[in-house]
């Protein structure tokens, strides 16, 4: 039967949109930030300067055993400190009237993307602290194995970190090798029993679960040690309330001001000139609560 003549998308095609845009925008290519699960966030009070000092006790002096009437000798208890210096992590862009009108999107959706960019930059800076740690297990040029990982864990525990929990953060390449080693050592038939907890965790994005009592994280934001190697590592922490940052950790994010967006409408450019930024500082709180682990990427 022939097509019936009339008004359709062929005859009146000039009145038909060539395509329809979905009423959402997929997030940009970036890792899911994990710093909020690992780093203690210290709010810096206004009017206290641009540097925050984080003190820690040094190793305690030896105790004594005395007999009746003996005098106990006085001993010094000393401290050390790390510092975090405030910087502005920022991005700026003009959100034009034309884009808002033509896309049907809200200007706030552009601000959300800018804020996500700042949050990602903070995550990168926090995880880069593994690469500058004083204590490292350096396996440059070698793929991560269970033996190397367990040796690094033992070395970390020997530092006496003294917190409630230990987390390990590995790059995607390091975790690829770790999973491969787990399969090879446990045997594929035993994975459900020996390694299940790090394959099916559903706590937060980036969190893989527990292995040997260690909280396992994976992130593409882990720093490169060089062109062929990545540097993840171990950090000790004491958890806060559910959904909050740790109350103590080997990682510290000092916060003068959290992520904020501020804009100025510019009529001569027909748009909102937006700067999204946070004033923060990054530091390891104490080296004994931290250990880098280098292996191939």
* CA torsion through residues 152, 153, 158, 159, sign: positive
pTM for the whole structure: 0.88
pLDDT at residue 161 greater than cutoff 80: yes
Residue tagged 């806060």 (tokens): 240
**Whole-angstrom Cα distance, residue 146 to residue 198?**
14
In degrees and rounded to multiples of 5, residue 37 shows phi and psi of: -90, -15
pLDDT band at 28 (very low <50, low <70, confident <90, very high): confident
In terms of pLDDT, which residue wins out, 211 or 88? 88
Quick: pLDDT tens for 105-131: 888 889 999 999 999 999 999 999 999
The pLDDT of residue 114 is: 94
Structure confidence by residue, pLDDT tens digits, 179-209: 888 888 765 444 344 445 444 544 455 888 8
d(CA 89, CA 264): 19
- Please write the tens of the pLDDT for every residue from 70-90: 999 999 999 999 999 999 999
Residue identified by tokens 């400190």 is: 81
Name, in order, each residue with C-beta under 8 angstroms of 274's C-beta and a sequence gap of 6 or more. 92, 93, 94, 95, 107, 110, 111, 114, 261, 262, 263
């Amino acid at each position: 039967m022939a097509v019936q003549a009339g008004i359709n998308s062929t005859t009146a095609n000039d009145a038909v949109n060539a395509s329809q845009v979905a009423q959402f925008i997929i997030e940009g290519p970036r890792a899911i930030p994990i710093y909020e699960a690992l780093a203690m966030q210290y709010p810096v009070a206004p009017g206290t300067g641009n540097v925050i000092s984080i003190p820690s006790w040094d190793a305690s002096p030896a105790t004594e055993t005395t007999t009746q009437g003996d005098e106990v000798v006085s001993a010094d208890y000393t401290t050390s400190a790390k510092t975090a210096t405030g910087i502005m992590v920022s991005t700026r862009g003009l959100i034009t009237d034309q884009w808002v009108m033509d896309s049907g999107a809200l200007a706030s959706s552009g601000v959300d993307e800018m804020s996500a960019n700042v949050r990602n930059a903070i995550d990168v800076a926090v995880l880069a602290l593994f690469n500058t740690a004083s204590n490292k297990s350096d396996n440059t040029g070698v793929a991560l194995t269970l033996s190397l990982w367990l040796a690094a864990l033992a070395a970390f525990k020997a530092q006496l970190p003294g917190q409630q929990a230990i987390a390990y953060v590995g790059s995607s390449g390091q975790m690829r090798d770790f999973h491969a080693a787990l399969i090879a050592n446990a045997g594929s038939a035993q994975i459900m029993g020996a390694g299940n907890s790090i394959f099916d965790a559903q706590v937060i994005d980036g969190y893989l679960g527990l292995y040997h009592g260690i909280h396992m994280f994976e992130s593409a934001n882990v720093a490169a040690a060089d062109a062929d190697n990545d540097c993840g590592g171990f950090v000790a922490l004491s958890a806060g309330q559910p959904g909050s940052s740790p109350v103590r950790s080997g990682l510290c994010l000092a916060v003068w001001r959290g992520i904020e967006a501020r804009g100025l409408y510019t009529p001569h450019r027909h748009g909102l000139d937006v700067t999204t930024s946070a004033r923060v500082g990054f530091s390891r709180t104490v080296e004994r609560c931290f250990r880098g682990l280098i292996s191939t990427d």
